[in-house]
Chains A and B, each alone.
Chain A
């Protein structure tokens, strides 16, 4: 009788913890997915793109093409030197690359050395583009891991010459990138080399920079706003023109992700706690019955000299014990479920779902507190039992 009741009430708590564990594991997986989706670029990145003016301004008509050049990048460095961490230009090209008999099409990014840090590029061997390449406009490239695989098959690419649209470039490095296969099929070359060979001008397609990581979120946003305003002035673009100069600050994105993360975590906590409260109420209810059942025993103990405190501790201990055991059963089952389901969940944007040790420790503490709360009122009630009432023979 007593055992069935303990089991049933314990089940509520076990279920609460089971639910919480599974939700938490899935939530974690979801957050892991977000994290990996954005590791490609440094979190403090700002991308600056140009386009056609959409509004007439300063006596100039709409529809004017805005073109960045090297001097614009230098101007940003001079104007905002203390706020800029890394800065690079980008020129996009599409090439057909050949090495011996292998041939394939790739995207080329012509960049500055800082690009390595902006894109979180890992150089596997060889080196990245350096300042001397920029100055001397050397014909060197750094190729992605998969480009090497495609063209050089099993051999090493370093030191060999690769043909891009008929011009020979020396491979000086091979890199990998967490951003995925697409990122590892890229070829990097010095921006100045590309400018000389493919146009003999100073044109830049895009400017990327990272702001000083010491800047907090608000300072980062105000920096990018200031940058936008000054760039628009520099190119005589209306401040209301949203198309001519576009500045994208990842701080905005990471804030959105941060809020989403917070939202998901709060939701999980609310659901978990809600169910836990239901479990606590169930256990509390059962403890009232247990106290009723043990009224006589409590009376005997009091007649023998049990203090109210010792009666409270008997009931509290029982309540905490039931809660913790039930909770652990839920935790173990929940972790098993998450562990088993994790691999098949990758398809649904849930990556490496799992529960950390800190959560297990946290859950244990929460369970002990929950058990104590569940037992408190019944225990208080038990301690107020009058031995004379309890011992009355019925």
Chain B
């Protein structure tokens, strides 16, 4: 599904440069649920951004679903992001003047779907996250957990191969975090491949595999016994 090979990335800081990723090798199979852990500055977010095609590596290869991701034009990157990836952010990143349904339907708009189809699919995914009745509410009328569920529905709308979550529970309380994790686990049960950045140990334990980063290198990569979030809900 996903294969990265000797990825390097540096950021210029003043006159010198900061070497953030120092040769990362990682391969993820379809259906996995991987937590990327590390303290801040370990390079975990940079790695996720490169996997999400929001950033490009200085060196190394990245192959996603047998497609080499290299030298992308803006246009091509946009098409790949739309086709391959679903993003879930810590701060939800909903567009606040669009209602829940329009937010969910946005990736479908960029796929060139007709309005009727967009509404149909958008409602289907909203129903899946249990917010069908909130379809016409604006984000600021929703609670944090509801917002994240709308964001997840949006990430699912385009039916991506890979879900990328950047601290998906970072802005939520424990109870809501467990609800969201429960939902993400159920998506994984259905076969979605999920990659998640987190610094919370208990959230990481709810994945099937934990990759630990420190100073730009992988220091540990282990498969774990998944803790089901449903027991806390």
Contact = CB atoms under 8 A, between A and B. Distances in A.
B62 interface: no
B55 interface: yes
A310 B110 contact: yes
Interface stretch (A208-216, A257-265, A297-305): A297-305
A307 B73 CA distance: 10
Given A310-B110, A387-B54, A300 B78 contact: no
A388 B106 contact: no
A300 B106 CA distance: 10
B183 to A, nearest CB: 20
A304 B154 contact: yes
Interface string A383-394: 100111001010
Nearest to B95: A297
B74 A304 contact: no
Given A301-B106, A388-B55, A391-B54, A307 B78 contact: yes
Given A302-B81, A308-B74, A386-B54, 13 more contacts: A297-B95, A303-B93, A304-B154, A305-B79, A305-B111, A305-B158, A306-B110, A307-B75, A308-B78, A309-B75, A383-B74, A388-B49, A393-B91
Interface residues of A, number: 20
18 contacts: A297-B95, A300-B93, A301-B95, A302-B78, A303-B52, A303-B93, A304-B81, A304-B82, A304-B106, A304-B107, A306-B78, A308-B75, A383-B74, A387-B54, A388-B54, A388-B55, A391-B89, A393-B91
Interface in B70-106: 74-75, 78-79, 81-83, 87, 89-91, 93-95, 106
B218 to A, nearest CB: 22
Among B75, B94, B95, B111, the most chain A Cβ lie within 10 Å of the Cβ of B95
B55 A307 contact: no
A296 interface: yes
A305 B93 contact: no
B24 to A, nearest CB: 17
Contact of B110 (A304, A391, A393): A304
Interface in B10-65: 49, 52, 54-55
Contacts of A300: 93-95
Nearest to A384: B74
A300 B86 CA distance: 12
Contacts, number: 56
Contacts of A393: 90-91
Contacts of A309: 75
Interface in A274-318: 296-297, 299-310
Interface of A: 296-297, 299-310, 383, 386-388, 391, 393
Taking each of B78, B93, B107, B111, which has the highest tally of chain A beta carbons within 10 Å of its own beta carbon? B78
Interface of B: 49, 52, 54-55, 74-75, 78-79, 81-83, 87, 89-91, 93-95, 106-107, 110-111, 154, 158
Contacts of B111: 305
Contact of A305 (B55, B78, B89, B90): B78
A388 B53 CA distance: 9
Contacts of B52: 303
- Please provide the 7 A-B residue pairs with the shortest distance between their CB atoms, ordered closest to farther: A305-B82, A305-B110, A388-B54, A307-B78, A304-B107, A300-B93, A308-B74
A305 B154 CA distance: 12
A45 B225 CA distance: 107
A135 to B, nearest CB: 85
Contacts of A386: 54
A393 B110 CA distance: 24
Nearest to A388: B54
A296 B74 CA distance: 17
Nearest to B83: A305
A149 to B, nearest CB: 72
Contact of B87 (A296, A297, A303, A310): A303
A214 B93 CA distance: 74
A308 B73 CA distance: 10
A303 B111 CA distance: 13
A330 to B, nearest CB: 28
B95 A305 contact: no
A304 B87 contact: yes
A298 to B, nearest CB: 10
In this complex, the member of B74, B90, B106, B111 whose beta carbon has the largest number of chain A beta carbons within 10 angstroms is: B74
A179 to B, nearest CB: 66
Contacts of A310: 110
A182 B13 CA distance: 89
Contacts of B91: 393
B158 to A, nearest CB: 7
Nearest to B81: A305
Contacts of A307: 74-75, 78-79, 110
Q: Which of A303, A304, A387 has the most CB of B within 10 A?
A: A304
Contacts of B74: 307-308, 383
A290 to B, nearest CB: 13
Contacts of B94: 300
A387 B93 CA distance: 12
